[in-house]
A and B are shown apart, each in its own frame.
Chain A
Amino acid sequence: MNCNEAGTLVARYADGELDSTQGRSTEQHLRSCVDCAAKHRLVLALRARIHAEVPCFPAPSALRERVRALLANAQDVAPARPRPERNRWRWLTEGAFAGCAATVLAWVMGTAVIDWRANEDVAVEAVTTHVRATLNNHLIEVASSDQHTVKPWLSARLDYSPPVHDLAAEGFTLTGGRLDTLDRHHVATLVYRYRLHTIDVFVRPESAHAPSALRTVRGFDVAHATGSGMDWLAVSDVSADVLTAFVERLASADAAR
C-alpha cells in the first residue's frame, strides 16, 4: 500500500470502519509511513480532545417534563381510537399472551430448549429493568462515585458481596448503585456514566441462566461476561464494542490487579 491508496483508509481505520483485511494492511502501512502515522495520530488526538473539552448536553429537566406532559395528553386520547384497528390486532395480543403462557409453562418443565429461552429472557428482563429505572428516574438508590461506599451498601442488602470498580480513568464513571430483581433473584446494579450514556451493570453470582455474549433488545445492547466468580450483564445505548470491552474489563478487573 502506498500513501495514495492509504488516503481515506487512515480516517476510516481511526473510525473503526475497516474490515479486518483492510485494517491489517492499513496498520502495516502506518507502521512504515511517518506521514500517514502522523495523520492517524492527529485524528486520535483530536478525538481525545473532543471527548475532554466538547461537552455532551443532557436534556434539561424542564424539557423532560414537557415531553412527559405531551405523553400524558396522548395517553388520554389514545383509547378514543376507532375500534376496527384494535380488533385487527386482537389476535396478535392474544397470541402474545398465549406465547408468554407457553414460555412460563415450558420453563417450569425445564428442558434444554427452555433453558435457552430463559437465557434470552434474562437479556430482555435486564433491558426492561434498565428502561424502567431510566424512565422513573430511579437509577440510583445509593449515589456515590466511591466504590467503598457503594460496595458495603449493596453487600448489606444481598447475600453476596459484588465487586465494585471505579473505571473513571478509562471514561466510565461510577455514579451509584441500586437493587433490582433479575431472573427471580435480587441482584446488585451498578450505574456508570460514559459521556452522555448511562450503563447499568447487573452483578450476580454465576448463574445457570446467562444470555449470549452480545444481544440487541429494543435498540439497547446487552453485553455479558463472567469473571471473578460473578456474572456481569451490562445494558446501555453506547456502541456495542465499547459495551463489550467495558463488561469484559469489569469481569477481569480483579484478575488484572
Chain B
Amino acid sequence: MSDPTRFEEQVLPHLDAGYNLARWLTRNVDDAEDVVQDACVRALKYVGTLRDGNARAWFLTVVRHAFYDWCKRNRPKEIIKDDGTAIDMAAADSSMDPERVAQRSSESRLLADMVAELPLAYREVLILRELEELSYKEIARIADVPVGTVMSRLARARALLQRSPQLRAICERPGGER
C-alpha cells in the first residue's frame, strides 16, 4: 500500500479528532489549522511506521508534536518544564489563583472558558480523557509521560474546574442523589 493511500485510509478518518486537540491546545482557529496541516505533512511522511493498531492515538501524538514545535516558535512562554512545582506555580499565577477564580465563578463563567484557561499540561490530559475518551495508557503515550503523571495532572485539572459553584452544590447536597 502506498503512503498516500495508507494515510487516506488510516489517518484521514481521524482528522476531526486531530483538529479538536489542536484547537484546544492553540485556543485559536487559524493556529489550529496550521498545526494540523503541519501534522498531516508529518503523518504523510511517517505513515509507513504506523503498524496495525490505534491510528487515532498515533495521529494525536503527531498533532501534539506539531503543536509543541509550533508553540516553541510562537508562544515559548507557554511551555513549562515539568518538575511539578513549576506547573503548580503556573496554575497559581496564571488565571487560577483562588480569589480571582472565586470572583469569576460568581460571575458564572462558562465551563468551556475555564477549560481553555487551564495550564497547557493539564488542559491536554483533560481534553484527551474527557473529550477524546482515551485511556490513561493511551494518554501517557501521547503526552510522553508516565501513567502516574497523567493521573495527577488529571486530578489537578479536575480540582481546578470543580471550583465552579454548581459542581460544589452537587458535592455538598446532603445524602447525594442515590
Interface check A70, CB cutoff 8 A: yes
In chain B, positions 37-69 with a C-beta closer than 8 Å to chain A are 37, 40-41, 44, 52-56
Q: Are B136 and A17 in contact, CB atoms less than 8 angstroms apart? A: yes
Q: Which of B3, B17, B158, B161 contacts A196 (CB 8 A)?
A: B17
For A49, what are the chain B residues with a Cβ–Cβ distance below 8 Å?
111, 166-167
Interface residues on A, range: 35 or more
Q: Which of A11, A39, A45 contacts B154 (CB 8 A)?
A: A11
Interface check A138, CB cutoff 8 A: no
Q: Whose C-beta in chain B lies nearest to the C-beta of A70? A: B40
Interface segment, one of B79-87, B92-100, B126-134: B126-134
Q: Report A132 CB to chain B, min CB distance, Å.
A: 9
Bound Cα distance A238, B13 (Å): 12
Interface check A63, CB cutoff 8 A: yes
Q: Which of B10, B135, B170 contacts A41 (CB 8 A)?
A: B170
Bound Cα distance A15, B158 (Å): 12
Bound Cα distance A17, B150 (Å): 12
Q: Are A219 and B37 in contact, CB atoms less than 8 angstroms apart? A: no
Show the binding face of A for B, using Cβ within 8 Å: 8, 11-12, 15, 17, 34, 37-39, 41-43, 45-47, 49-51, 53-60, 62-64, 66-67, 70-71, 74-75, 78, 131, 134-135, 195-196, 218-220, 237-239, 242
Q: What are 13 pairs between A and B in contact, CB < 8 Å?
A: A11-B155, A11-B158, A12-B136, A38-B171, A38-B176, A46-B158, A49-B166, A50-B161, A54-B115, A78-B2, A135-B9, A219-B54, A219-B56
In chain B, positions 94-129 with a C-beta closer than 8 Å to chain A are 110-112, 115, 129
In chain B, positions 1-38 with a C-beta closer than 8 Å to chain A are 2-5, 7-10, 12-20, 23-24, 29, 32-33, 36-37
> How would you classify the secondary structure of chain A's contact residues: helix, strand, loop or mixed?
helix
Q: Whose C-beta in chain A lies nearest to the C-beta of B132? A: A196
Q: Are A70 and B41 in contact, CB atoms less than 8 angstroms apart? A: yes
Interface residues on B, range: 35 or more
Q: Are A59 and B41 in contact, CB atoms less than 8 angstroms apart? A: no
In chain B, positions 146-178 with a C-beta closer than 8 Å to chain A are 151, 154-155, 158, 161-162, 166-167, 170-172, 176-177
Q: Are A46 and B167 in contact, CB atoms less than 8 angstroms apart? A: yes
Bound Cα distance A42, B164 (Å): 11
Q: Which of B40, B136, B158, B166 contacts A67 (CB 8 A)?
A: B40
Q: Are A57 and B20 in contact, CB atoms less than 8 angstroms apart? A: yes
For A55, what are the chain B residues with a Cβ–Cβ distance below 8 Å?
112
Q: Which of B15, B18, B131, B176 contacts A37 (CB 8 A)?
A: B176
Q: Report B75 CB to chain A, min CB distance, Å.
A: 19
For B53, what are the chain A residues with a Cβ–Cβ distance below 8 Å?
219
Q: Are B133 and A58 in contact, CB atoms less than 8 angstroms apart? A: no
For B7, what are the chain A residues with a Cβ–Cβ distance below 8 Å?
71, 74
Q: Report A125 CB to chain B, min CB distance, Å.
A: 14
Q: Are A42 and B167 in contact, CB atoms less than 8 angstroms apart? A: yes
Q: Whose C-beta in chain B lies nearest to the C-beta of A66? A: B37
Q: Are B3 and A54 in contact, CB atoms less than 8 angstroms apart? A: no
